[in-house]
Structure 1
């Protein structure tokens, strides 16, 4: 009996003290795997990244949105849900703005055409054209258009009026024909009693040529005679008075109302 007990005590004393190597080996293996994963992650596959990004974007857009008429998490506006484009989308979505832009282009084209005509025919001393806030102003000297104190058109003036009538016929705007004089009184015995009658008569002669002879639609025009009330130069010399004796044709940017 004593000997048997001694054998058991000797067997218990031979315990394995190297089991920690297993844990250590597992730890080393896990660390190796961890570094391999880090290395693999550091090598970006561009194609796979793009595919992932596209997939996420698609899912975000497909998801419900809290934005009215929007789609996706980002709330981007889905324009296909509008029957007509949003009113504030672009300037071209405003019909009135488009119409104004077309009219302005027509005026600028008119300005260039008349300027070229004046230059080609050497009419710089008789015809002056400029772009004003109200519209394109065409100023015709009275010496070029009429004899002194009269309102009958002279033949040398007809070609420029013919050219203007061909351009006016294509415009959808109001054309104002305005007669002006200097401040000298009308001589007795003439066709007109005063400068008011002379300025109005000259404007009417130009209008009748456009309407009666050239057959331009009369609704395009308005006529006024201002006598000497709107001078462009002081009436203190013959040269300045000559500048004030004129017929101005103003192609307006904004149409005027003829309603009473």
Structure 2
């Protein structure tokens, strides 16, 4: 075979490999024409659009707004068109009042709905906490302990704050004898409660002295809370399952530690009857 024949055979083979591109180009062209035609057919008929718009405007412009107690599209101001007979619509004002009162009687009252078990428990708990708050408040007033004991109704529960001067000697965790009557009164109130009582010890930010039997304020605050807990458990024989205690040292101050009055306010034991159910 001559060189010219070989070159012609190679050229024909290359032509066969590229023929698919012609078919592909024809397909793309047809798709382009198809979408052009579809776009042309989707043009809005402005004539028909104007006719519909004018018809709607003419209809609504002839009626008053219902929101302004107008006629709207009906015949009675402020009312919609119904198929009820006129005899049912027209009547004396006395009949209307009777019908409205009767309908009110037929409507079920949410207050008459029986409470769920959780709602009953929550209501009982709140009543017990309110009674506890009232009794402790009255006890403080009767015994003139306003400067030593503070009670407050907080989101977490009823909080009873006792000053360290009322419970302990300076730098000590052993309970004073004078604190026993008040703690016994609290124990009598806690005895029948089915809620957890949290006892927390707090101090100021003054470091513990070198001669103290406690390592630091953490240990002192924890021992003070534990002393109150031991009184409830050992002396009053309360159920230990309903108590918890912790010492927080000076990490949760309620007063200014830069002043003597603020530091005195921070040295305290907080007894909180916790809310265990949420509304």
Which residue in 2 is equivalent to 1:138? 160
**TM-score, length basis structure 1:** 0.63
- Asked if 2 retains the 8 angstrom alpha-carbon contact of 1:127 and 1:141, the reply is yes
Give the whole-Å Cα distance in 2 for the aligned partners of 1:215 and 1:91: 41
Query: 1:147 aligned to 2:153?
Result: no
The reply on whether 1:112 has 2:134 as its aligned counterpart is: yes
How far has the Cα of 1:191 moved from its partner? 1.5
Tell me the C-alpha RMSD between the 2 structures.
Answer: 2.3
1:5-154 superposed matches below 5 A = 90=112, 92-154=114-176
Change (3 A) 1:236 1:189: same
For 2:114 and 2:260, the matched residues in 1 are separated by: 52
Q: Name 1:224's counterpart in structure 2.
A: 246
Q: How many residues align?
A: 174
Tell me, which stretches of 5 or more residues in structure 2 are unaligned? Answer: 1-105
Q: What corresponds to 2:237 in structure 1?
A: 215
Contact residue 151 and residue 198 of structure 1 kept, 8 A: yes
The Cα of 1:93 is off from its aligned counterpart by: 2.8
1:159 and 2:178 matched:
no
Runs of 4+ in 1 over 2 A off after TM superposition: 88-93
Q: Is the 8 A contact 1:178 1:203 kept in 2?
A: yes
Deviation at 1:233, TM superposition (A): 1.0
Q: Aligned in 2, Cα 1:89/1:111: closer, same or farther, shift over 3 Å?
A: closer
Aligned to 1:185: 207
Shift of residue 246, structure 1, vs aligned partner: 0.1
> Which secondary structure does the structure 1 equivalent of 2:150 belong to?
strand
Structure 1 residue runs of 5 or longer lacking an equivalent are 1-75, 78-87, 256-260
Q: Which has the greater radius of gyration?
A: 1
SS at match of 1:179: strand
Instruction: Report Cα offsets for 1:21-57 as digits up to 9, x if no partner.
Output: xxxxxxxxxxxxxxxxxxxxxxxxxxxxxxxxxxxxx
Secondary structure (helix, strand or coil) at the match of 1:93 reads: coil
Cα 1:91–1:189, aligned 2, differ >3 Å: closer, same or farther?
farther
Conservation of the 8 A alpha-carbon contact between 1:177 and 1:247: yes
Task: Give CA-to-partner distance per residue, 1:173-193, whole Å, 9 cap, x none.
Answer: 000000000000000121111
Mapped to 1, the partners of 2:266 and 2:275 lie a distance apart of 24
Mapped to 2, the partners of 1:93 and 1:192 lie a distance apart of 52
Q: What is the rounded CA distance, in whole Å, between the counterparts of 2:126 and 2:192 in structure 1?
A: 14
List per-residue Cα deviations over 1:192-243 (Å, max 9, x = no partner): 1100000000000000000000001011100000000000011011111000
